[in-house]
Amino acid sequence: MLITAMVAGLGVATGLAVLAIGENMLWFFTPSQLLADQPPPGNRIRLGGLVVEGSVRRRPGDLEVRFDLSDRAAAVTVAFRGLLPDLFREGQGIVALGRLDADGVLQAEEVLAKHDETYMPPEIAESIGEAKVAERAAAAERKP
Amino acid sequence: MGPRGASVSEFLHMGGYGFYVWTSYGAALVVLGLNVAAPIVRRRRLVRERPGTSAPARATEPPPSLK
Amino acid sequence: MTLRRYASPRHFHDLAGRLIPWLGWPCAVLMAAGLWTGLVIAPPDYQQGDAYRIIFVHVPSAWLSLFVYAAMAGSAAAGLIWRTKVAEAATVACAPVGASFTFLALLTGSLWGKPMWGTWWVWDARLTSELVLLFLYLGIIALNGAISDPRKASRACAILAIVGLVDLPIIHFSVEWWNTLHQGATVFRLDGPSIHPSMLVPLLLMVAAFTLFFLAVLLMRVRCEVLHRERHSRWVREVRA
């Protein structure tokens, strides 16, 4: 009785853990991993990366939205029709689930937002943003 | 209401996320409440029961941790 | 030996009874302060608006889900090594508390995930390993229920609790070891918390309040457990009178 119950409990726990490790632990690919791996087209894959600034485009009269996901080393274009999460914006971390088409575009059926571990008031974020813009401007001036 | 200068209804609205925020806090309240109530109820039962009659009856009862 | 004296069920019962209010009242004060600063004083987040306020119940319950498990495994080891009755009682007393806070962490995480991520649930490493923790707690509760002799039940639970310890580092480091939808650590990180002080203060208040809460209800439960286990001894009859 005791042994049966213990084995059952342990079995369920380890079984779930193994299942999770085997199948789902690497929950998404980054664009670099995806381009290096070249999974066969038609496979369902998850792709995670940052939405490239200025890459979000909507075709007029169509629900489809396209954007590029990047990990700063590579970028993959994602096409999606549907409701985007509240946190979707340029520069945001996004995980898209879908299939690669012949043109190497990920035809997504689900788009999730991945937020980071930073929390701050809007005013602080604004002043950090301004500092970053100023930094970038200074760097651009130094270049030529 | 606080330094955010929000009215009560604005406070309850939580910038449109009221359902998610208040359901979370409500669930937390329920979990905290049950965790306090369970040992109080059990103690009352344990103190009241008569040792002579309780022991054989207990063996057939479900274990305390499942109550 | 004084330590053994306090480890005896009877002295533990008396001492714990006197200790509970000293944990309960500070817990209530800290929680009131945490709720006030978290819901009223703290500003909204620059990205998540007011939805991030779920953090003030989500992180403390997730913290407790791990902390209670560590406490349970600790008392399990003590019970196995020294056969201390109070430690054996504490092992089984931890499980329902831990299970309830693991459930709360999963539920509030889900309620946070829906508006922010766009989904109630994903099978990423963090969420999956936390769900395994819930099953470990439930397994220990079921195992304790399946064995009628309380001391044998405690020892069986202790072994399962110690084996299940491997899940704790997996949960904590899952967000670093694998690609997950869940974000990385905010508070427990090497370069310091990545949260603004106006939001960190209520978070720490709530974490402290939840920890005191656990200690208080644990003492309450262990008192019940020893009353039940020692029900035929003279001191329990005196307590009843």
Q: Which two tokens stand for residue A8?
A: 């059952």
DSSP assigned state of C130: H
Option in C49, C108, C217 nearest B24 (CB): C108
**Closest Cα of chain B to C117: distance in Å?**
13
Which of C 58-97 lie inside 8 A of A, CB atoms?
A: none
3-state secondary structure of A104: coil
**Closest Cα of chain C to A96: distance in Å?**
11
Domains and CATH numbers, chain A: 26-141 (2.40.50.140)
Residue type, A126: E
Domain ranges of chain B: 1-49
Which of C 178-197 lie inside 8 A of B, CB atoms?
A: none
Rounded to two decimals, the ipTM of the complex is 0.92
Task: Tell me if A118 and C129 make a contact (CB, 8 A cut-off).
Answer: no
- Distance of alpha carbon A101 from alpha carbon A106, whole angstroms: 6
Residue listed under structure tokens 């769900």:
C131
Which of B 4-23 lie inside 8 A of C, CB atoms?
A: 4, 11, 14-17, 20-21, 23
Name which of A89, B6, B17 is nearest C47 in CA terms.
Answer: A89
C185 neighbourhood in chain A, CB within 8 Å: 117
> pLDDT per residue over B7-31, tens digit each?
888 899 999 999 999 999 999 999 9
- Between A109 and A142, name the one with better pLDDT: A109
Name which of C185, C159, C190 is nearest C171 in CA terms.
Answer: C185
Average pLDDT over residues C210-231: 96
- Assess contact for C93 and C222: CB atoms under 8 A: yes
Neighbours of C120 (CB within 10 A): 12
Option in B1, B25, B39 nearest C221 (CB): B39
Radius of gyration for chain B, computed over Cα atoms and rounded to the nearest angstrom: 21
> pLDDT per residue over C186-206, tens digit each?
887 777 888 999 999 999 999
Name which of C195, C193, C52, C39 is nearest C117 in CA terms.
Answer: C52
In Å, how far are C55, C126, C144, C200 from C203, measured between CA atoms? Answer: 8, 20, 34, 5
Asked if the model's pLDDT at residue C27 lies above 90, the reply is yes
The H or E element spanning position A98 is strand A93-100
* C231 shares contact with chain A (CB less than 8 Å): no
* B53 shares contact with chain C (CB less than 8 Å): no
Name which of C178, C172, C118 is nearest A95 in CA terms.
Answer: C118
Option in A13, A27, A85 nearest C117 (CB): A85
> pLDDT per residue over C111-148, tens digit each?
999 999 999 998 888 998 899 999 999 999 999 999 99
Neighbours of A113 (CB within 10 A): 24
- Distance of alpha carbon C181 from alpha carbon C187, whole angstroms: 18
pLDDT value at residue A136: 62
> pLDDT per residue over A30-64, tens digit each?
888 888 877 777 778 889 889 999 899 888 777 88
